Structure 1
């Protein structure tokens, strides 16, 4: 997709920012790690709710009472053509992300931990980064994914800072 944008006769003249949330954020971090040259023209990145899949699976399995089967879950991910949970971690790829980053997380997210989210944020190589905590909820999907839509001011002012 990035190559398409860069080659497009109209899009390639535009300023570029990234909005990559959850597993898409992990994929974006990995892409930046593997092909940094493709991201040299990116001015900033919004990176909400980027997880560590091992923690998500551990929390979800514990909620379902099947935490003794995590090794089998990893095997099923591989059989489906996916990656092991350990490879799906924002923290794994974060040290390669040098562009300005605005990240937000649900502090009491039922599917991950604040410590894990903080660790990913701390590992970002960017010297210009900000982490915003969404408080008073445990609802990743309802309140985390919808935070920007309900409270656009912070994200829009962040984008204006880098895109103006």
Structure 2
């Protein structure tokens, strides 16, 4: 039992092994640039800029925890063993998403957040939305600095940790989002809820062990389990936001995303539930499967 708690806590102090970048945009016939830029605190970030010539609209893609800009090869070891028990031992390939966005007329900036892919190591490997928020801010500054993007309409495609980090960045530096038109945010989740579900999946009673696990995480990271709560951060969202979530996702609860949605203080918001699955990865694959709702959201808010 103690070993299980220790392993869970270790996952918050450093990723076991960085996922590789196994796909590139040229596989989908997309021209792209390899780009590098600084996070808000100077961490070097690596990414792709996929141009859509003649467009003034750009979507910035922020990836989930443990993923890269290309996705996650969880059909391969060691990632398969980590995720197969929850039904998520399949590949997630984000190149298809970028092809859809490009073909809809958007430039795309996709990059690796700190401690992921080819981007720099930082914060001793500690994983937290407050640190990744600085990467979101860096991606916005880089987008505005490009000479070929004059006063662009900016949209955010922020998945899971990318969504948590984006909302944290909005809470920290609301002025940085002054010209952001909208956000599409699949699968954000709270650390406490995810850990409670993880404990239950290994046959442990969450109520009996969650506080001990939280204390172990604090000793590893100096952060409390409820720090940087996306439910709280959602109260700082000021851009039109479309949330979507696998309703019966085995790694969270519907009430978690519902609470974030309810706490967004603006009327221009929407929540879409993906039915018929317990597999979290299906939420990451939904855009490639049926992007109609998300493209409609971007299209409505990124006119001009």
TM-score by length of 1: 0.91
- Separation (CA, whole Å) in 1 of partners of 2:246 and 2:223: 25
Residue 95 of structure 1 corresponds to 235
- Separation (CA, whole Å) in 2 of partners of 1:123 and 1:21: 18
Residue 144 of structure 1 corresponds to 283
Q: Is the 8 A contact 2:168 2:228 kept in 1?
A: no
Q: More strand per residue: 1 or 2?
A: 2
Q: Is the 8 A contact 2:218 2:225 kept in 1?
A: no
**Can you list the C-alpha shifts for 1:131-151, whole angstroms capped at 9, x where unaligned?**
00000111112x111111111
- Separation (CA, whole Å) in 2 of partners of 1:77 and 1:70: 11
- Separation (CA, whole Å) in 2 of partners of 1:88 and 1:136: 30
Residue 158 of structure 1 corresponds to 297
**Shift, 1:163, TM fit:** 1.1
Change (3 A) 1:83 1:150: farther
The secondary structure found in structure 2 opposite 1:132 is strand
Q: Does 1:131 align with 2:248?
A: no
**Shift, 1:21, TM fit:** 1.2
Q: Is the 8 A contact 2:160 2:189 kept in 1?
A: yes
RMSD: 1.7
Residue 213 of structure 2 corresponds to 73
The secondary structure found in structure 1 opposite 2:226 is helix
Q: More helix per residue: 1 or 2?
A: 1
- Separation (CA, whole Å) in 1 of partners of 2:141 and 2:271: 29
- Separation (CA, whole Å) in 1 of partners of 2:150 and 2:277: 40
Segments of 4+ in structure 1 off by > 6 A?
Answer: none
Aligned length: 163
Greater RCO, 1 or 2 (C-alpha within 8 Å, sep 6+): 1
Q: Which runs of 5+ in 2 are unaligned?
A: 1-137
Q: Is the 8 A contact 1:98 1:127 kept in 2?
A: no
Residue 165 of structure 2 corresponds to 27
Change (3 A) 1:82 1:134: farther
Which residue of 247, 251, 259 maps to 1:119? 259
**Shift, 1:79, TM fit:** 4.2
**Can you list the C-alpha shifts for 1:47-73, whole angstroms capped at 9, x where unaligned?**
111111101100111111344433343
User: Any residues of structure 2 matched to 1:55-74 within 5 Å, and which?
Assistant: 55-66=193-204, 67=206, 68-74=208-214
Greater gyration radius: 2
